[in-house]
A = this chain, B = another copy of it.
């Protein structure tokens, strides 16, 4: 089973459209994936759906593709953001990959009281989201936002957007996601050590917040992110 190579490009895609390749794209397609002139690949740009394309020219430093036919329409994810507190590199990468795979529209790293990392490699996380979209057959790549402090994010919270708060200390919290209102949402996941008591109080008191339970076990932050995205998608998103 050789899966067709899928590539995210910035360029517009349309019937007969030529797409020039940058150096790193040429290296990936012709050096790593061993494609050559006449080979087929699939392209998407987050706006025009998925397009079949053929390699028209290939060199070490560049190349040209030509789009031949649209193979899938644009499939936008539901209006769901994932807010998470990045800590360890491997688990941060994992959360971004899974959020893209599971169909989050926007990925927002947040700084919290128990988060040590003062900065993130936004470009690297964005590349992870793009690669996940390439792998999972997506036609859309969620944007990775700059790191922002949770306090500031909550103070400037957009009107009308619900906030799903996975509260592992609230045993009585709802676990039935189908009872939640429809509309734009954000899921917020704390760091490995949890939110601080002050943050927890602020989240609980926030007018947009809905507390939910993710079962009787303590989940790691990355597991909680995947579980919450899954339950939201199945109940309120595009899985049903």
Binding site for B on A (CB under 8 A): 1, 3, 75, 94, 98, 101-103, 114, 135-138, 175-177, 193-194, 213-220, 223, 226-227, 230-231, 233-234, 237-240
Contacts and interface: CB of A to CB of B under 8 A. Distances in A.
Contacts of A233: 215
A16 to B, nearest CB: 28
Contacts of A1: 114, 193-194
Contact of A137 (B101, B102, B218, B231): B218
B220 A223 contact: no
Most chain B beta-carbon contacts within 10 A, residue among A1, A227, A233: A227
B102 A223 contact: yes
Most chain B beta-carbon contacts within 10 A, residue among A75, A114, A194, A218: A218
Contacts of A218: 135-137
Most chain B beta-carbon contacts within 10 A, residue among A138, A216, A220: A216
Contacts of A193: 1, 3
